[in-house]
Amino acid sequence: MAEGSYPEDLLYHPEHDWARIDPDDPRIATLGITWYAQDALGEVVFFDPPSPGTAVTKDQPYAEVESVKAVSDVVAPFSGEIVEVNEALVDDPGAINEDPYGEGWLVKVRISDPSERDALLDADAYSATLG
C-alpha cells in the first residue's frame, strides 16, 4: 500500500502495533505492526515467530521483525498467551510490508485482561500521533 492506511475496525498501540478482536470470540485478538512501522523499517527480510504458549505482556516486546539494516521490537497491545502464529511469514516475510493488516498478521493471542483495550487508540487517535 502506497499511502498510510489505518483501518477503522482495529485498535492501535502507540508503539505502532495493531490488534483485531476476533468478531466470534472477544477473548482472541490478532496482532501485527502498522503501515507506519513497516514503512519505517523498510523491506522485512526475517521474522522468527515466537512459539504458541508463550506469554505476552502489554507494552512489552514479544517478537522482532528484521530488515537488512535493523532489528525492530514488536510490542504487545494486550497481555495474554500466544495461541497461533503466522508460519507463512517465515518464507514470505515481505507480506508484512505488502499487507500489514491482512496476510502480514503476526500472532493470535488469548487476552487475559480485556480492560486493557481502554489504553489503546482508535484509528483517528493513532493517526494523530504520527504527526
Partner 1 sequence: MRRTPLYERHVAAGAKLVEFGGWEMPVEYPTGVRAEHMAVRQGCGVFDVSHMGQIETVGPQALALLQRLLSNDVSKIPVGGAQYSVLCDERGGVLDDLFTYQVDPDRFLTVTNASNHERDLEWFRSRARSEGFTAQVRDRIGDYAMIAVQGPLAREVVQAISDTPLPARMTAGKRRLSGIDVLACGTGYTGEDGVELLLDPADAPALWDELCHRGAVPAGLAARDTLRLEACFHLYGNDLTMERNPIEAGLGWCCGEDTGFIGSDAVRAARAAGPREALVAFKLEGPGIPRQGNRVVEGGVVTSGTLSPSLGVGIGLAYVPPQLTAVGTRLQIDVRGKIRSAIVERKPLYGKGT
Name the minimum Å distance from CB 71 to partner 1.
7
CB nearer partner 1, residue 27 or residue 46: 46
CB 19 within 8 A of CB 101: no
Q: In the chain, where does DSSP find H-type helix? A: 35-41, 88-91, 95-98, 123-129
CB 100 within 8 A of CB 32: yes
**How does DSSP classify residue 112?**
S
CB nearer partner 1, residue 29 or residue 65: 65
CB nearer partner 1, residue 52 or residue 114: 52
> What residues make contact with partner 1 under the rule CB under 8 A?
42-43, 45-46, 48, 64, 66-69, 71, 90
Name the minimum Å distance from CB 45 to partner 1.
5
Name the minimum Å distance from CB 9 to partner 1.
29
CB nearer partner 1, residue 22 or residue 73: 73
Between CA 47 and CA 31 the distance in angstroms is 14
